[in-house]
Amino acid sequence: MNSARQPIGVFDSGIGGLTVVRQLRRLLPREDLVYLGDTARVPYGSKSPETVIRYACEDTRFLMRRGVKAVVVACNTASAWALETLTQRFDVPVFGVILPGARAALKATRQGRIGILGTHATIRSMAYHKAILARDDTLHLYARACPLLVPLVEEGWVDHAVTRAVLRDYLRPLLRRRIDTLVLGCTHYPLLKDAIARVAGRGVRLVDSAEACGAFVRERLAHLRLLETRRRRAGVIHAFVTDEVERFEMVAARYLGEPPGPVQRVPLD
């Protein structure tokens, strides 16, 4: 039986999932969090569905061993391909980022013209399409894989001429379709929000899947009576990575908005 006292587990292919942790911290400041960044095997966005599902199961198994009460799949790629399998295989509630992002897009759109950005694997999965069209099949959706954005963000080039040029190129076909809403369907894209907003223009509402996920997890945990309500201290983050900790520690604060605390390296087998 899961109890509210247990931590929430969060995993991602690497560091980007800290944008989701940031939102969880903002909305659920008393929750303890266990974060796993699979830095040894990042990126997931260029891998096959079978590999992504296998990695996601291994990541979840690790979090289960840490005694988590629920698992948040912060990675859009893993949410897109593995959520169903994880829900079937593991005995805790599992939340992804796709459904919250889709719901937020449905709420945001005015003219029913929605753009979706993500990794190759996320776009290939059509997961956002399925989640949105299942709720309203009159909407027009336009998706674009943006494989260059993750490395640009990891390089810290969030306000750089090269990134702006890449964004203009990626967004052009979507803007031509007169989208009014744009889903940022990848862990790294919240860091590009300002740059994307400038290229997309005022008429396009941005949907941050990390932000939407935070609100969704709070709502679901409350419904399941798994929200921590009695703890007086602030929640803590236990961060684990599968490759060396130094680089992760160096850049984590950029995604998380605070220092990550001690980070441990773990093997997944």
Asked if residue 187 binds ligand DGL (CB under 6 A), the reply is yes
Nearer to ligand DGL, 75 or 226 (CB): 75
Asked if residue 77 binds ligand DGL (CB under 6 A), the reply is yes
Asked if residue 43 binds ligand DGL (CB under 6 A), the reply is yes
Number of residues that bind ligand DGL (CB under 6 A): 17
10, 18, 24, 42: which one binds ligand DGL (CB under 6 A): 42
Q: Which stretch binds ligand DGL (CB under 6 A): 11-19, 24-32, 54-62, 102-110?
A: 11-19
Q: What does the buried/exposed string (b/e) look like for 173-191 if buried means 16 or more CB atoms within 10 Å of the residue's CB?
A: ebbeeebbbbbbbbbbbbb
Asked if residue 44 binds ligand DGL (CB under 6 A), the reply is yes
Distances (CA, A) of 45 to 4, 49, 77, 230: 33, 10, 6, 39
> Out of 57, 75, 146, 213, which one is annotated catalytic?
75
Asked if residue 181 binds ligand DGL (CB under 6 A), the reply is no
Annotation says 186 is catalytic: yes
Asked if residue 122 binds ligand DGL (CB under 6 A), the reply is yes
Asked if residue 186 binds ligand DGL (CB under 6 A), the reply is yes
Nearer to ligand DGL, 34 or 150 (CB): 150
Compute the least distance from the CB of residue 152 to ligand DGL, in Å. 12
23, 39, 76, 163: which one binds ligand DGL (CB under 6 A): 76
Residues 225-264 that bind ligand DGL (CB under 6 A): none
Q: Give me the active site residues, please.
A: 75, 186
- Residues lying near ligand DGL in the complex (CB under 6 A): 12-14, 16, 42-45, 75-77, 119, 122, 150, 186-188
